[in-house]
A and B are shown apart, each in its own frame.
Chain A
């Protein structure tokens, strides 16, 4: 054990663990379905017809595997109900424990898709005396409010809206509250479903590719938007019952270089990763694998690569999730965390054969082969619009030390 690992092991023992999870992505509905598809090659996106503007568009998207893009007024909540049930069933909490949970929800778009569908419906029957009105019940907490009511929660609820770091930031707050003893169990939820604002907004930014995303690859040419809803239950383990994965550190910083991207010199990204390591009481060489943000856009990958090279010499193994599930924006923090750690628990590290296969112009080579991963420490990066940068450090080392 390195001195850094020893310091880590000497920290207070009542950590908050990832007790259970549920997910619905383009790969499948449920953990097992997602993990099975993750062991195959990433697939290109669907092209969605969009005729809302003068231009007839085909917008690339990775849609949920088992929920057709229809009945948008109810689809969001049906998917959420299903994913919550997956996580709650796996957690096996009592009814009283369920109700006492606090909720930490992260999303970029929340229920905007429902608002869009309702507005379109109103517009179809609009008259001079009865005008359609967009956004009749504006609140970022509408989705959280639904979960509170449907699950009968009596704990607190927080809705995070920090772009692509939303659910990663939600997770950090949830873990902090559980570890501080403010709540016994935390329900962390990431939500991102198709909506026209996001689809047209990203199309307008010219950030989309129509093929498989190729992060850090010399032929990278943009991102694909993805849908995903996921949930994790966080809870403290009793003394001598440490098991599984837990968040051992994390950091969030606002990089004011630009509202859409970090400084390509990597300084802002290196700073947040360094702070996350400090928060985890670790040196860079204690990290075994990095799950990169990897949006496959020219400048963002350049910035992340530069940040990685500033801090890690040499780079540990690097892997990415977005070629598989697309960029699930505010939900990517939780979606990618779940797929990453559950894949390791299932015996493999995410691999993207043929993507980032050589070092390329950014000198970042992605993991190419499915292989078992020893218990260790893992960094997960998430960066968002508004300069919101978050880096998490998770570990399953207790498993080995128990």
Chain B
């Protein structure tokens, strides 16, 4: 069964000093004003709203994040231990990550399944993995899959939390794909061909050696692939690199950026791979032009 990518929705901004306001973008994206929500939920609404054209009411939401709603959790912890205040009810409820799913469903008038799921090194990849199986099995017919990561001031603390250099550029990202199993009357941007885990490098290498490549294939290396490993994979596959991180600041769910950028570019097939610190790998394959 073929799974189609029919829309994308992106927001990605480097943060230089102050966090840019998002309220207007939220209203533009979901066509309504959403009050009393924090920055994390605002980012989710912007990306999800931008990917929501012709979205089925029954679409499932698969939402992920590398760090979750850090902003609200940091506020709540500071309130308890520095100010001696119990968390305000809405702040407490919003510490549960699927509060964002609620606002997405409410704003986009959805009543399908919703999941907030993460994996430390493969957040977007894992959300896509669940969505792909649900669509292929027929359990779902449409899915909105997205990843959000938010920046929290002071940025010096944020950099420490991210584990990046004190001068590193920080970014916020919200990247979403709308997937459907039946693309009748839809403009197809791409197909999601594969999302597959590998237990180690050898297993991925063996798989790639059997995968026929063509002239319009690109290789993208995820953000957790070590710099010295990038050249090894490029040599091993002999594919041109799809560089999606140039000029983009640090945030933890950059896989979403790769997929949205590639689909928006609209040409060829993307072989994306990422790894974690124990040496497990994840492969995602996206093909553009499938609907031509």
A residues apposed to B, CB below 8 Å = 52-54, 100, 108, 112, 115-116, 119-120, 123, 133-142, 144-145, 148-149, 154-163, 169, 173, 176-177, 180, 182, 196-197, 200-205, 251-256, 259-260, 271, 279, 384-388
Contacts and interface: CB of A to CB of B under 8 A. Distances in A.
Contacts of B116: 160-162
Contact of A162 (B86, B111, B115): B115
Given A116-B80, A138-B68, 12 more contacts: A112-B73, A135-B70, A154-B199, A159-B119, A200-B86, A201-B86, A205-B92, A256-B110, A259-B99, A259-B102, A384-B98, A387-B102
Contacts of B97: 140, 161-162
Contacts of B114: 162, 252-254, 386-388
A53 B84 contact: yes
A137 B114 CA distance: 26
Nearest to A99: B199
B35 interface: no
A204 B96 CA distance: 15
Interface string B235-256: 0000000000000000010000
22 contacts: A52-B80, A53-B80, A119-B77, A123-B82, A135-B70, A135-B73, A156-B119, A156-B280, A160-B116, A161-B118, A162-B116, A173-B117, A176-B139, A197-B77, A197-B80, A197-B92, A201-B92, A202-B92, A203-B86, A204-B92, A253-B111, A385-B99
Contacts of A169: 115
Nearest to A387: B102
Interface string B219-245: 000000000000000000000000000
Nearest to A176: B133
A176 B116 CA distance: 17
B96 A156 contact: no
B221 to A, nearest CB: 20
B113 to A, nearest CB: 4
B66 interface: yes
Contact of A138 (B61, B139, B161): B161
B53 interface: no
A279 B134 CA distance: 13
Nearest to A143: B120
B89 interface: yes
Contacts of B84: 52-54
Interface in B71-99: 73-74, 76-78, 80-82, 84-89, 92-93, 95-99
A204 B95 CA distance: 14
A138 B161 CA distance: 7
A169 B122 CA distance: 19
Contact of A134 (B78, B85, B111, B278): B78
A157 B96 contact: no
B200 interface: yes
B111 A388 contact: no
Contact of A387 (B78, B82, B105, B117): B105
B115 A108 contact: no
A12 to B, nearest CB: 12
B31 interface: no
Interface residues of B, number: 62
A93 B137 CA distance: 28
Contacts of B118: 139-141, 158-159, 161
A163 B137 contact: no
Interface string B50-62: 0000000000010
Contacts of B80: 52-53, 116, 196-197, 200
B112 interface: yes
B67 interface: yes
Interface in B133-165: 133-134, 137, 139, 157, 160-161, 163
Nearest to B122: A156
Contacts of B67: 138-139
Contact of B101 (A162, A205, A260): A162
Nearest to A203: B86
Contacts of B161: 133, 135-138
A260 B120 CA distance: 28
Contact of A256 (B68, B85, B106, B115): B106
Contacts of B133: 176-177, 180, 182
Contacts of A255: 111
A173 B98 CA distance: 17
B129 interface: yes
Given A133-B157, A162-B101, A52 B81 contact: yes
A134 B71 CA distance: 11
Residue with the greatest number of chain B CB neighbours at <10 A, chosen from A136, A161, A387: A161
A368 B119 CA distance: 42
B126 interface: yes
B187 to A, nearest CB: 27
Contacts of A145: 120
B86 A254 contact: no
A137 B137 CA distance: 36
Contacts of A119: 77, 81
B86 A53 contact: yes
B137 to A, nearest CB: 7
A204 B89 contact: yes
Contacts of B280: 154, 156
A252 B115 contact: yes
Nearest to B106: A256
Contact of B112 (A112, A134, A253): A253
Residue with the greatest number of chain A CB neighbours at <10 A, chosen from B96, B119, B137, B163: B96
Given A154-B199, A158-B126, A254-B61, A138 B119 contact: no
Contacts of A251: 113
A142 B86 contact: no
B173 to A, nearest CB: 15
A114 to B, nearest CB: 12
A204 B87 contact: yes
